Chains A and B, each alone.
Chain A
Amino acid sequence: MTGLRLLASALVVVAVALFPLAAGNYPVKLLQEILIWGIFAMSLDLLMGYAGMVSFGHSAFFGIGGYVAALALARSPGLVSALLLPAVAAGLVALAIGFFSIRVSGVYFIMLTLAFSQMFHAYTFQVSWLGAEDGLVGIPRPAVPGVDLNSLRGFHGYLLVLVVLAALALWRIVSSPFGHVLRGIHENEARMIALGYAVDRYKLLAFVIAGVVAGVAGSLYTQFNGSITPDAFFWKTSGEALLMVIIGGTGTLGGAMLGAAAFILLQSLVSTYTERWMLILGATFILLVLFAPGGIVGALRGRIGLRA
């Protein structure tokens, strides 16, 4: 990371941290939603942008994180319930789904991950112990000594710390030798096998890491809303995360966060002015795919000559 970029990232973090001092309730909540979806989108970018594994079932881990957090927090509202259990559960599920899914690639990988995530949707939608289609509601936020997470600012700080930790961890992973192997697999899988890398193990590990981070995002989503519904598992959740990554620019991590911001801002801004927000959102995606193939980051690079 160059000095300039480090400075820019630090400035963004400071700006986000100070935002609640300057803005009202609604904009702060919007920013918090962006941060949560940003974590989710970044975890997907690790798979798509670096390892080249386009998963259409990433909602499975988001949902698992969300549901495990909801069940655990309702019993004992602490950090173990809020972060550790959802992350571990999502990681285990990712291990199981990944074990099967990495055997196929391309469109079959897309369809298999999609099928697995929809199994969870179908299950949570139908069983009464998870609240069926209404989901689980009235979930308390965790109790953390010294911070009141029920206050807007307290939760904001908690979120920001977690986002920064997740971003640093992911950035560390993609710039490690492991990350370079993932990129190698993306570029030319056959060559990486010929070079002696146990490609399947790398792919599985990437899948599990992405699942863990997505699980944390799902848990934060439950904490943010105080509820979780089967929609978290629905394939549109995966599709929206994919859109965020693409809008922002794949393989950049920061792009995923920007994409999440663009998606949620667009959604909420347009929906305050007109009932027709889905139409405008859809048209915007279509135009973005047609005219800005590299996403926001790609467009910025082209405009100001920034290099990767």
Chain B
Amino acid sequence: MPVDLFGQALNGLAYGVLLFLLSVGLTLIFGMLDVVNLAHGSFYMLGAYAGLSLIASTGSFWLALVAAPLAVGLIGALIERSCLRPLYRRPPLDQVLLTFGFIYLFEDVVKWIWGGRIRSIPPPDLFSGSVSLWGAVIPSYRLFVIAFGLAMAALLFLLVERTRLGAIIRAGVFDAEMTGGLGINIHRVFTGVFAFGAALGGLSGVIAGPIQSAYPSMGVTILIPALIVVVVGGLGSLKGSLIGSLLIGQAETFGKAWMPEASMLIIYVVMAAIVLVRPQGLFGRPLK
């Protein structure tokens, strides 16, 4: 049992860091642009499929890991510039619906180009085997995902907490209008944050590919857990996103193993409880 426990905890950790990469973009976009980006799951899906094609054509997972997020980030920038920007002065619901439209659009584009069936994505050769850790056999790719995700988390913290750009982003999340008033070109920052968030969504899609395969509805499936992470952690909070992801990752993995009938229920119950007791989430700023 302890061996199994260890294996499950690692699985949960791998899922958790995946959720983190996805929810960081979501939480930054919400914190800064006040947009609940329902198409964020689509970026994840696009990343996985772009990764699939890049791996197939170049044979290099590592190239796909760099190029696919860049492509998805570019799509994000285009969406922000052309469709979201005209909507900032409208009621927030209009933006939600716009991104809802993109879910349909992207899901169908993916079916068109890649077909509707599940496509498996091979892990890179370097991590195609498995290792034995304290008696548990773990696919080495999962260990890579955990290490990569944690390294990305550290990088993101440095970026947001220690650089000038990070200071601008934090200021924008706190009060976008005021930041603009201080001479920062806030529109460019908006586009940049949206593109960056989209790229991170694409990155998590590439990473998830070898674990979960690629299929057209993968975006709408992952979106709700990612939204839950954002709400549990606190909208706009990087730290909340990390803690929330790891929490939800463990809750879902252990739930699936121990209480298969109720596993999906658990995360919703956790979220509902947190919204009721502490609406701003674990690390969010108190509500105005």
CB-defined contacts of A178 to chain B, threshold 8 Å: none
Q: Chain B interface: which size bin? A: 35 or more
CB-defined contacts of B260 to chain A, threshold 8 Å: 126
B235 within 8 A of A: yes
Interface centre among A126, A243, A286 (most CB of B within 10 A): A286
Given that A278-B108, A286-B83, A289-B87 are known contacts, is A246 also in contact with B97, CB under 8 Å in the complex? Answer: yes
Please give me the residue from chain B that is nearest to A291 by CB atom: B86
B118 within 8 A of A: no
Interface of chain B, main secondary structure: helix
Q: What string of 1s and 0s marks CB contacts (under 8 Å) between B94-132 and chain A?
A: 101110111111111101100000000000000000000
Given that A111-B271, A289-B98 are known contacts, is A276 also in contact with B112, CB under 8 Å in the complex? Answer: yes
Residue contact A286 to B268, C-beta cutoff 8 Å: no
A116 within 8 A of B: yes
A119 in complex: contacting residue of B103, B105, B106, B268, CB < 8 Å? B268
CB-defined contacts of A243 to chain B, threshold 8 Å: 97, 100
Given that A104-B279, A107-B235, A286-B83 are known contacts, is A118 also in contact with B97, CB under 8 Å in the complex? Answer: no
Kindly specify which of A2-10, A137-145, A189-197, A234-242 makes contact with the partner chain.
Answer: A234-242
CB-defined contacts of B263 to chain A, threshold 8 Å: 126
**A278-B103 Cα distance, complex, nearest whole Å:** 9
In this complex, how many residues of chain A approach chain B with their Cβ under 8 Å: the count is: 40
Please give me the residue from chain B that is nearest to A97 by CB atom: B272
Given that A112-B272, A276-B108 are known contacts, is A289 also in contact with B101, CB under 8 Å in the complex? Answer: yes
Q: What string of 1s and 0s marks CB contacts (under 8 Å) between B250-275 and chain A?
A: 00000000001111110011011001
Interface set of B (CB-CB < 8 Å, partner A): 30, 36, 38, 83, 86-87, 90, 92-94, 96-98, 100-109, 111-112, 220, 224, 227-228, 231, 235, 260-265, 268-269, 271-272, 275-276, 279
Query: Nearest 8 A-B pairs (CB), nearest first?
Result: A282-B104, A122-B264, A282-B105, A285-B101, A278-B108, A279-B108, A286-B101, A119-B268
Question: Could you show 6 A-B contacts with beta carbons less than 8 Å apart?
Answer: A108-B231, A110-B96, A111-B228, A282-B107, A282-B108, A289-B101
